[in-house]
Amino acid sequence: MAKGVAPGTKLVARTIIAQDGARYTADPLWSNRLLAAGQASFADIAGIDLPVAGVAERHALHLKTGALAADTESHVAAKVAAAYGLPFAAFRVVADPAHRQLPHAALVAIRPDGSLAFGAILGSLARDPRQVPQLLGTANDARAAFYALFRCRKLLGSGLGFCDFREFLLDMPAEDVIGGTLAV
């Protein structure tokens, strides 16, 4: 999205800007904890429904929203949290820089369940083998992003920077209001 934001850059959302223009402000307490624990920077993040593959399109989205990065999940979580009056925070790691065009093979690489679609990747490469250098660059960027994300996951702990959620389990009653035993 924004030029100069490298793969592996850690961002904590100040605001999520959805495609319909809705703005969701992240919980300041949780966001500040993520910021400190994850050694990240505050940023506005654009919520998009589909990946933005082209360099020009990424630049246009940055100019329209002012966001440093974009993702396809945070706006969904922010909208649900807003609907239920729940706090939300978003910690993102940049995977693809604004200057790199995503090749077709990268766009078809992930199935809806998150697994790799090897057949689609191979089919795309067979139709256009010139994508290989771009795809290798994209894979290298993704490797840097995953490395940073996994490192941050350890820094954030089990509560993801918020609190130790195991404490909530200890506070739960052994039985629900109807009288049946809760499976904890």
pTM listed for this prediction: 0.79
Q: What are the tens digits of pLDDT across the range 143-161?
A: 999 998 888 877 676 666 6
Q: Residue 33 in contact with residue 161, Cβ under 8 Å?
A: yes
- 41-65 burial by CB neighbour count: b if 16+ within 10 A, else e? eebbbbbbeebbeeeeebbebbeeb
Alpha helices in the chain (DSSP H): 28-38, 55-65, 74-84, 104-107, 118-127, 132-156, 166-171
- Tens of pLDDT, residues 17-64: 999 999 999 999 889 988 887 789 999 999 999 889 999 999 999 999
